Amino acid sequence: MSELFQQDFINKSALITGGARNIGLAIARNLASRGASVAIVDICHDLETVPYCMSSEEDLNNSVAELAGTGARTLGLNCDVRNENQVQKTIDRVVEEFGGLDILVNNAGIISLFPLKEISEKAWDEVLDVCLKGTFFCCKHVVPLMVEKKYGKVVNISSVAGLRGLGLSIHYAAAKHGVIGLTKALAMEVADHNINVNAICPGTVESPMLDGLASQLSLDKDTYEHFSQGHLIKDRRITPDDIANAVRWLASDESRFLTGAVINVDAGWTAGG
């Protein structure tokens, strides 16, 4: 790999929501390893209806220390993407530190599993507000800065659940379908400003999220296997790095003619219907 390729994000800055662990952290590592300044933001407290822990302040600090240890310019901020005021202040702080923002990755997301009649308003709101409203707030406050600069890459993390129903999660499917609609509509709005807006739909990725869902279902088999039955590629598992590689490509100029696109990193799941 040439030195030039490794540094293709030098002088670029990125904000990754839900960046304290797993897919978000893998994205931050990937962009930082190619020269980007990275801001990772995370909620750092648990949510009432979500059956697993969110990242803690300690997780966020450890992730920042790890990224900074590689020499990357790094910022870690506590921010709940559901809160527009916090989002605005966080973006102001990132811009103050990095001098601008070139890449926005809307990765923060949560899931819970309930049949329709058991979804409380609170559970509905938490999922929709983190996955969809949070994406809207971040776009609302970052994209105008990109318009001014006439440059920007927005990558929204949707899901296979943004393309089809998966069962026991109409709120998650509604939110993730919404992320795809938002992606396409925003791509139309800002194409003239040299801003690309795309979405990625991961299949089942190894994550703490999966373990939390296992407890809701009382599973008697491997959680990953249970949730990846639709994968066509079965001899290996999708990792956070697989998603991060796709994000890296969408955040780069190699993909400059992709906008409003949806890329499935789903081991063939959606190819099968």
* Residue 45 contacts residue 78 (beta carbons within 8 Å): no
Q: How far is the CB of 65 from ligand NAD (least distance, A)?
A: 16
Q: Which of 52, 151, 172, 224 is catalytic?
A: 172
Nearer to ligand NAD, 83 or 194 (CB): 83
Q: How far is the CB of 9 from ligand NAD (least distance, A)?
A: 21
Query: What are the structure tokens assigned to 79, written together?
Result: 């921010």
Is residue 109 within the footprint of ligand NAD (CB under 6 A)?
yes
Q: Which range binds ligand NAD by CB under 6 A, 93-101, 188-196, 198-206, 253-261?
A: 198-206
Is residue 134 within the footprint of ligand NAD (CB under 6 A)?
yes
User: Which among 127, 154, 265, 110 is positioned nearest to 201, based on CA atoms?
Assistant: 265
Task: Kindly tell me which residue out of 127, 186, 205, 247 binds ligand NAD, with binding defined by CB under 6 A.
Answer: 205
Is residue 230 within the footprint of ligand NAD (CB under 6 A)?
no
Q: Which range binds ligand NAD by CB under 6 A, 8-16, 20-28, 69-77, 187-195?
A: 20-28
Is residue 204 within the footprint of ligand NAD (CB under 6 A)?
yes
Nearer to ligand NAD, 78 or 194 (CB): 78
Lateral strand order in the sheet of 262-265: 74-78, 37-42, 13-17, 103-106, 152-157, 195-202, 262-265
Is residue 268 within the footprint of ligand NAD (CB under 6 A)?
no
In the annotation, is 224 catalytic? Answer: no
Task: Kindly tell me which residue out of 23, 27, 119, 127 binds ligand NAD, with binding defined by CB under 6 A.
Answer: 23
Is residue 156 within the footprint of ligand NAD (CB under 6 A)?
no
Q: Which range binds ligand NAD by CB under 6 A, 18-26, 28-36, 145-153, 185-193?
A: 18-26
Which residue shows structure tokens 């979804």? 119
Alpha-carbon torsion angle 111, 117, 121, 122, nearest 10: -40
Q: Which range binds ligand NAD by CB under 6 A, 2-10, 101-109, 142-150, 244-252?
A: 101-109
Nearer to ligand NAD, 79 or 101 (CB): 79
Is residue 127 within the footprint of ligand NAD (CB under 6 A)?
no
* R_g over Cα of the chain: 18
Which residues are identified as catalytic? 172
Tell me which residues touch ligand NAD (CB under 6 A): 17-18, 20-24, 42-43, 54-55, 79-82, 107-110, 130, 134, 157, 159, 202, 204-205, 207-209
